[in-house]
Structure 1
């Protein structure tokens, strides 16, 4: 096992982080010094790093069995945590297991035992029943966003998993709300509780915009206020999302969609395009309101207001994160009723803008990934040496198991596809295409 990164300072430097925030520092101490910890902190405050760093200190590099189990409510959060651990460069093996992907493929991956296993409760419980996960060495359990897992019906599976873990020494629960009490099956005795659920109203500019005629027309006017900034439009239902998406397509407004009924591969690609700025607008249901890490979101638009204040808070939490400023706009149609929780929000008039610019970035798909030993440096080197791009023409690079995604300057995308397809990266002959 290659421990290329051995301490917190090196990990943070590798991730481009100058220092931990206040919550992360206190969580580090709480988890390091207590066997039970409950972390209550808003979406986007950095909880993942907060619980990973102290757990890494506890790993035994001579133990080849699974030592940490992380349960999460959604596949997106599982993928995100897996990527964070890889980005930390610790050398410890991690695998993510979740519904929507091949169980037989996961079976093969689990034969090469990961030190850290992250997954949704349903899929983890299934692998445990089939004897694919060694439980004796799992001493650290994290249930991230435990309230969300309870809300969507994973209580039975979580109870089954926790009862099967007989060697636990440390239990950590996180949540972004006060909604759910810690369930009895966790068997918390006297957990150390960190509560950071204090809203920073100064960072968020929140207001209503009235739609005098058509909410879709008003939506476009709102989008024009933000130009090429990045934002999320929230809808309550898929049918509404389909209608909004069709209208944006009609107006030639670029956007990506993200909702529960999409195929997993399409959901992942939407998030990749949004993260690398190939798409500046993400049209989503509440699936995107929590549990996914997308930095740099400038604004939120509530095309439809959620029925519950809790979801309203989670949506707004996607912007104004980590001491940054953000804007949340609620669109009110002529016949829309203002929810009780939103009656004190001010109203603002907007004027017509100057259109919505196209993104300057294009996402390319490369047919090679981690299993081919391909690194970000390999891709950047190929694109610069053989593709004649400079560093400013290459954006975010994301490496997956069997493929990679690269954002490049829009004007160079077609040329790169033609010029570099069938080149070799390491020993892999690659294909490159736009998505």
Structure 2
């Protein structure tokens, strides 16, 4: 690919897109704070004198035996609540590809390439570290591949960085594409015992849900039962139930119906559903999943040492901290050099380095894949959870140091982006463009 003049990357989105991204980031930042709180509570409880109560609660089973629905509370969180998270991910993915920045190949190329680099390099590093450990250990190769946007944004909120909108958008887009890759990995590489008859039956309520939303019928008493039946049948089929959430999200139309004012008349149904469901996902589903998944008995200093010296843990920490950085930063640099693109005015490669380090904050999907890789009975599962926490905290600290050092520059850019001299409510910089 060649350009007649240098192309800029990390440029501002349209004003409408910036407003949408801002709403998402605010919601995810609050969700990230709740996620951190739930994680801390789980870790404290699981390592307190009352630890038996935590594990009894997590392992308490309820639900009918039929259709494999007699699950522990931890199982309901990972299979049920995370389906809500992946439903929102499906909505956001479709919106980005149909009406967001990802519909523009020039803007989408860098974050998509960076996301793939941020998946491939960590997977390779984990595999290299555990090459002699055997196939049972290598099943965890996908654990360090996902970026947790809520956790990452919570880090940004804590360090109070005035990160420019374009960089935040890049981070969000990177995480969105990460989610898409993670969904594909879970569906392809981590299926249970397949029951194709249930999968075939799941198509019926899914098609009915699709038909209703395409007709812009939003009555919850139609859509919610169909979504629940789809989830139950996908769960019973052996494919991880979170895939049902993604498929339901993909079914929702992004643009408005021409009969109701056309695409330019306002947000479409996907954005409407996202506005309704994202607070539930970020504020309830993900924190509860973290509460039931992050609790691990460390066993004191010796237990922590045993966990972090396991090759699984070493591979995860190396992949999250070094692998994500090399994958995201290296791929971004390579794309810009091969396309002769340049960073937008006011930005420097140290900013990309900070974002690449922040991409190493992997949590929600990493915890899910570690459970699918090893199961509750394996000591590698507990060690993997410790490594995910340790690697994410280390990546967050390194990113905070880098981004904080540039905070004065970010503050100047933020002031420039927010100026509204004519008082019409729209920053002048968008009207100038």
Q: Which TM class, normalised by the smaller chain length?
A: under 0.3
Q: Which has the higher helix share?
A: 2
Question: Could you tell me the TM-score, scaled by structure 1's length?
Answer: 0.22
Larger RCO: 1 or 2 (CA < 8 Å, sep 6+)? 2
